[in-house]
Amino acid sequence: MAEKVVIGNAELWHGDCLDVLPHVGRCDLVLTDPPYSSGGAFRADRSQPTDKKYQHQAETQRTYAAFSGDNRDQRSFEKWCAEWMRHCLDIVGDGGALGCFIDWRNLSSVIDAVQVAGWVYRGCVPWHKGWDQRPRKGWFRANVEYVVWGSVGVMLTGHKAEGACADGVVYVRVNGIEKEHQTQKPIGLMADLLSVRPEWQTVLDPFMGAGTTGVACTKLGKRFIGIERERHYFDIACQRIREAQESGEFLDAEPAREPVQEGLL
């Protein structure tokens, strides 16, 4: 049985999203970072525990608890994504949106799953993680991930600033020291994405991990609904969101930041 914890205007669920989503109320945006089921070019690589696949000593000396659901092959990953995305479609109102993080290995699977689930595919936005991130000698850096977007029906036009629009690439650097989860995204990144449209006031994250989307929602004054299967990370998310609410610190909604070239070491 799923457990629900309410912290201010945040509704946090401990359980599997496929069990919880039918019981969640309406929302305007789904913004989430599910297990990628990647981390390698071969099946044996993907089957490794997540603390082996995603732990990079160059970023931090910390270790992180493993999380489940990250060992699907490409076909089963696509089917699984289509299933939870279909449940999300049922609770997002007309003109609402879905944003799903993924890396290059399973990008095509997520694009297909969005459409299989019934969303209108709206393209993908690259997230540039930093000019000095993930070098691969003799090849291109692996310093970009993607947010695949879909909408419920027609995507409404307009932007919070008259005549403005968000940039087609989001530039926010990874800071490994701040991470509580192996694949945690920066708060600034989530805040940039959440700030694109003012009508996104209730946000759902079916894979909230350490609660970064919820922290960003708190700082932007938005209502948050989060679901997390792993007890360890659910407890961390509750603590971080509670601390964010108690701090009383708020962010101004801004368009995504312009890129700044960083010096390489």
How do residues 122-142 score in pLDDT, each as one tens digit?
999 999 988 877 778 888 988
Domain ranges of the chain: 3-183+203-247
Burial of residue 152 (CB within 10 Å: 0-12, 13-18, 19+) is: buried
Task: Name the residue with tokens 């964010």.
Answer: 244
Closest CA to 104 of 58, 59, 62, 136: 136
- How many helices (DSSP H) and strands (DSSP E) are in the chain? 8, 9
Q: How confident is the model at residue 50 (pLDDT cuts 50, 70, 90)?
A: very low
Q: What mean pLDDT do residues 39-66 have?
A: 55
In this prediction the pTM is: 0.81
**Predicted local distance difference test score (pLDDT) of residue 175:** 72
User: What is the pLDDT, as a whole number, of residue 40?
Assistant: 55
Whole-angstrom distance, CA of residue 188 vs CA of residue 256: 9
* pLDDT tops 80 at residue 54: no
Per DSSP bridges, beta strands 223-228 and 10-14 are: parallel
Which pLDDT score is estimated for 9? Answer: 94
pLDDT band at 65 (very low <50, low <70, confident <90, very high): low
Give residue 46's pLDDT.
54
Q: Which CATH architecture is the domain 3-183+203-247 placed in?
A: 3-Layer(aba) Sandwich (3.40)
| pLDDT above 80 for 69 | no
Q: What is the distance of C-alpha 23 from the center of its chain? A: 21
pLDDT at 247: 87
Pairwise CA distance, residues 224 & 214, whole Å: 6
Q: Give buried/exposed letters for 204-230 (b at 16+ CB in 10 A, else e).
A: bbbbbbbbbbbbbbbbbebbbbbbbbb
Return the amino acid letter for 49. P
Question: The tokens of 25 are what?
Answer: 């109320």
For the stretch 206-257, pLDDT in tens is 999 999 999 999 999 999 999 999 999 999 999 999 999 998 777 665 544 4
Structure tokens at 230: 């792993």
Predicted pLDDT of residue 264: 41
Which three-class secondary structure state does DSSP give residue 215?
helix
Query: Chain-wide mean pLDDT for the chain?
Result: 83
8-state DSSP, 248 = T
